[in-house]
Amino acid sequence: MALKVPRHSLLLLLAVGAVQAAAASAAVPPPQAQLQVSFYARSCPRAEAIVRRVVRRRAARDRSVLPALIRLHFHDCFVRGCDGSVLIDSTPGHPAEKEAPPNLTLRMLDVVDDAKAAVEEACPGVVSCADIVALAARDAAAMAGRVRYELPTGRRDGTVSSAAEVNLPSPSASFAEALSAFRSIGLGVVDLTTLLGSHTMGFCHCGLIMNRLYNYNSTSPFDPTMDAGLLAVLRRRCPPHVVTPQNQSRDVIVPMNFVAPLGPFGLDNSFYPSVLAGRAVLQIDQELASSGAARRIAAMFASRPGNFRVQFAKSMVKLGGVNVLTGRQGEVRLNCRRFNS
């Protein structure tokens, strides 16, 4: 869709070159602008319903599907954009994104496989894996916490997947570091504060929080910003011997949010009161309370669950538009785990 420039703004474009540049940018919209709601209305009208049915069927058996699919979408979009590259299997000598340490704990990729197989049966070679990941995350948000939104589709699948390119914000990162990473992909403080709210769901491995419990810094063995009651609980659940050079599996897990009215697989605003009370499990979450702007947003979400749901939907749509491939870019994979060629 062409960009409409207000009449009064044209008065500012005094140089002919500036006018030509503005016209050129208007004629070629950015890739995310080429996405559209109901992109498959003619080419595969049942596509979204098929993906939703697969997610609902799997979630009926295992509710942990819901946070896993939202996390999968985030990990996909943060590297090369939302192009399904996180789904690719490695080949000899070429480790793909899923082999990078931050992605080793990704789960439920087989849900995407199931959805792709069902969509391929209905409409061969039409619906991209990138769109299936984004649609599955949207459906997971709706099932987990009544977060509903229309999702523009039309993404194409990428043709590159490299473990060396994966550079996701660490769970032990400071809020400033995480915000810098978000800004590098076009998201801001509101999006970061909002999307961290998904940490009210699921579990984390003890290995990700051991430094907060036993080896924080030179002046304190534990993170002094952590609530004393939470510290005691986490030390019981994650004793020092859990993660050692002999045991790197990090299989012991704890809830991301110990006060979650909807349970560990429900999406609500209960993450924010926990953060404000010093009861966040991950360092990156607790750091949220140290930023003035983020703290104000968190306080608002803590008292207004409806505002959280609305903004979560907006930030998920924004995330889903990061560096997408559209038109004739990339490909539509026939198998989400392999490039076509």
Q: Residue 299 is part of a domain; what is its CATH number?
A: 1.10.420.10
Say whether both 62 and 153 belong to one domain. yes
Cβ atoms of 205 and 253 closer than 8 Å = yes
Instruction: Tell me whether residue 21 is in a domain.
Output: no
Domain boundary among 125, 141, 165: 165
In a domain, 150, yes or no: yes
Query: Are 243 and 263 members of one domain?
Result: yes
Q: Which of 8, 75, 94, 241 is catalytic?
A: 75
pTM tops 0.75: yes
With respect to residue 190, please indicate whether it lies within any of the assigned structural domains. yes
Residue 199 marked as a ligand binder: yes
Does one domain contain both 123 and 216? Answer: no
* Statement to judge: residues 188 and 311 lie in one domain: yes
> Is residue 64 one of the residues assigned to a domain?
yes
Which of 165, 192, 223 terminates a domain? The answer is 165
Same domain (yes/no): 193, 156: no
Residue 199 covered by a domain:
yes
97 is in an annotated binding site: yes
Residues 143 and 197 in one domain: no
My answer on whether 102 and 133 are in the same domain is yes
Q: Is residue 307 part of a domain?
A: yes
| Residue 94 among the catalytic residues | no
Q: What is the CATH number of the domain that holds 101?
A: 1.10.520.10
Handedness of CA 205, 269, 197, 180 (dihedral sign): negative
Residue 140 · residue 67 · CB < 8 Å: yes
**DSSP bridge pairs for 247:** 244
Q: With left for phi above 0 and alpha for psi between -120 and 50, is residue 108 left, alpha or beta? A: left
- Asked whether residue 79 is marked as a ligand-binding residue, the answer is yes
Residue 231 phi, psi dihedral angles, 5° rounding: -60, -45
Q: Is 268 labelled as part of a ligand binding site?
A: yes
User: What per-residue confidence (pLDDT) applies to 16?
Assistant: 34
Range of the domain at 223: 175-315
Shared domain for 305 and 213, answered yes or no, is: yes
320 in a structural domain: no
Mean per-residue pLDDT pooled into runs of 10, the chain (341 residues): 40 34 44 86 98 98 96 96 98 96 94 98 98 98 96 98 94 88 96 96 91 92 94 94 60 88 90 95 91 94 96 98 96 98 83
> What is the DSSP code (8-state) at residue 169?
P
Residue appearing with tokens 């943060």: 78
Three-class SS of residue 279? Answer: coil
- Residue 257: Cβ within 10 Å count: 27
Does 287 count as an annotated binding residue?
no
Domains: count for the chain: 2
Same domain flag for 290 and 181: yes
Spatial CA neighbour of 312 closest among 124, 141, 118, 119: 141
CA distance 120 to 274: 43
H/E stretch holding 203: strand 203-205
Same domain, 311 and 186: yes
105 with 56, same domain: the answer is yes
Which of 134, 165, 196 is the last residue before a domain boundary? Answer: 165
Residue 259: how many other CB atoms lie within 10 Å? 13
Q: Is residue 197 part of a domain?
A: yes
Q: Is 205 annotated as a binding residue?
A: no
Residues 136 and 249 in one domain: no
227 a known binding residue?
A: no
